[in-house]
Amino acid sequence: MTLRYVTSGIGAGRERQVDGVTGAPTTDNLPTYLFRQAQKSLTFTATAADPARGVTSVKLQGTLNVICMQRRSDVLLREGFSTQTFTFSNQNSATTTASSRTTSLSINFKSYAEETRCPTDYLPYRQDFSLVAESTDGNGGVLKTPLKRYVFVQSFKVATFNILNGVDVAGVGSADRLAQHMNDRNDIDVVMLQESRENTVWGITASPYIKELSRQVRFSGNDDLTVMSKFPISENVPVQFSQPLEGYNHRWHYVVLDLGGFPVKVANLHLIAGSVAENRGIPEVPYRRQEVDEVMAHMRNPGMPAIIGGDMNADVFRTDMDPLFTYVRYEFEFFYYTPPYKHFCLPPSTGCHVTPETPPRYNLDQLWVWVSTPGFGFVDSYTAYDRLPHLTPYLSDHRMQVTRLYINE
């Protein structure tokens, strides 16, 4: 007997075909992610065939978990989750055998804006559909397909984090703790890392805590910058800065995420630090301004929706003259005055109000998001502290910055 189901609705070149196998796995740690409005309605069609013994039954059985998330209320505690479960099944069976039988099952997801099933004070996050096909032949033999998950992503988390080359502030290796902080405690989907040597990153990907976040890894090629993603990456483009730095391969890189046919650029930066400029006799602010200008030559509108993040080595605001956090620094005006980019902690985002201190919201580590249609909308943002006070040393002298987004098509 053979058993197979095929999908319809994911898109040209993206459809899935899943075959029945003996001892089929019942878990799936590498789901198929769905993102776009065009992928909201999926149909699964299963066919079983056995010319010799015949087929008495073929069925599709699935479970839809609607997962909602609260906004974070404490930077040290993860968000609350709510899950509602719905079962789906369709079967073609008879007391007599047939050489083949076919059945279909359709699932309709909802977009972020349309979600109505979340409890009060909860927001859309994921719709996770698990599916198995099963067939029975004329002798009572059963064949199943592996369990597969189809996850409709209503909102997703992007982060930037300078990981201090994989040692904490006490000088102790931190690969497992970094993995746990990024994936288990903060559910990050895409992260831009700085001070991330390649051997450090491979150590993180070997951690049991990192799971799907190690699915896609791309380097800038200068043993500094890395992007890790649960979602497919179709391109990785390292770009040299025009102004060299002695003793350092001075570059940035961007990747192109494939969010179900919705292409997105993610730029990962590590701009010049004040100490580096001083040691080399370089005027810090004009140099950094030139770095940002060169990045924007690739990231300006018109172009594909984008996210720019990294260790900028300067506050967003002119804090020396502006204690009220009102005026954007000279270096970052190219971001600020280039629609449709918005800083993740500034209006019209929801801000980082859960972060207890104002300076970390606008500190060295920044995320600038393409807020437009097509583009993204903000859900929430926060500074991810990685320890309780007076306990284990901080993972880095930086704090991971996180924002949750949804796609505007």
Over the stretch 189-213, which tens digit does the pLDDT of each residue have?
Answer: 999 999 999 999 999 999 999 999 9
Q: How many helices (H) and strands (E) does the chain have?
A: 6, 22
Confirm if 371 and 348 have CB atoms less than 8 A apart: yes
CA gap 28, 407 in Å, rounded: 25
Q: What is the pLDDT of residue 386?
A: 86
Structure-token pair, residue 57 = 């039954």
Integer CA distances (angstroms), 406 to 11, 78, 125, 222, 264, in order? 20, 19, 9, 32, 12
Q: What proportion of the chain, given as a percentage, has pLDDT over 70?
A: 97
Give the pLDDT band (50/70/90) at residue 391: low
pLDDT > 80? residue 133: yes
Q: Which residues contact 76 (CB under 8 A, 6 or more apart)?
A: 385, 388
Structure-token pair, residue 196 = 């991330």
- Weakest mean pLDDT among 192-201, 326-335, 343-352: 343-352
Arithmetic mean of pLDDT, 360-386: 93
Give the pLDDT band (50/70/90) at residue 39: very high
CA gap 157, 228 in Å, rounded: 12
Give the pLDDT band (50/70/90) at residue 322: low
Q: Residues of 112-136 as b/e, b for ≥16 C-beta within 10 angstroms?
A: beebeebeeebbbbbbbbbbbbbbb
pLDDT > 80? residue 111: yes
Give the pLDDT band (50/70/90) at residue 393: confident
- Residue 91: which H helix or E strand, with range? strand 81-98
Integer CA distances (angstroms), 31 to 27, 346, 347, in order? 10, 34, 34
pLDDT tens-digit map of 241-255: 999 998 899 999 999
Q: Do domains 2-153 and 156-408 have the same CATH topology?
A: no
CA gap 28, 211 in Å, rounded: 12
Q: What is the pLDDT of residue 166?
A: 95
Q: What angle do CA 385, 375, 292 make, to 5 degrees?
A: 65
* Count of beta carbons in the 10 Å neighbourhood of residue 386: 23
Options 2.70.50, 2.60.40, 2.60.120, 1.10.3470; CATH of 2-153: 2.70.50
pLDDT > 70? residue 348: no
Q: What is the pLDDT of residue 75?
A: 84
Q: Which residues contact 225 (CB under 8 A, 6 or more apart)?
A: 192, 193, 194, 196, 219, 251, 252, 253, 268, 269, 270, 310
Q: What is the pLDDT of residue 189?
A: 98
pLDDT > 80? residue 12: yes
The ranges assigned to domains in the chain are 2-153, 156-408
Structure-token pair, residue 344 = 């993740």
pLDDT > 70? residue 320: no
Structure-token pair, residue 324 = 């009220």
* Count of beta carbons in the 10 Å neighbourhood of residue 167: 17
Q: What is the pLDDT of residue 163?
A: 97
Spatial strand order in the sheet of 233-240: 233-240, 251-259, 262-270, 306-311, 365-370, 341-343
pLDDT > 90? residue 142: yes
- Weakest mean pLDDT among 1-5, 72-76, 83-87: 72-76
Q: Which of 209, 151, 150, 217 is nearest to 176 (CA)?
A: 209
Confirm if 345 and 361 have CB atoms less than 8 A apart: yes
pLDDT > 80? residue 388: no
CA gap 400, 408 in Å, rounded: 25
Give the pLDDT band (50/70/90) at residue 346: confident
Indicate the pTM of the whole model: 0.95
Whole-number mean pLDDT of the chain? 94
Arithmetic mean of pLDDT, 344-365: 82
CA gap 282, 272 in Å, rounded: 10
Q: Which of 106, 94, 105, 89 is nearest to 136 (CA)?
A: 94
Q: Which residues contact 108 (CB under 8 A, 6 or more apart)?
A: 40, 41
Q: Which of 156, 380, 123 is nearest to 259 (CA)?
A: 156
pLDDT > 80? residue 143: yes
The fold of 156-408 is Deoxyribonuclease I; Chain A (3.60.10)
Q: Tell me which DSSP letter residue 72 carries.
A: P
**SS3 of residue 352 by DSSP:** coil
pLDDT tens-digit map of 57-71: 999 999 999 999 998
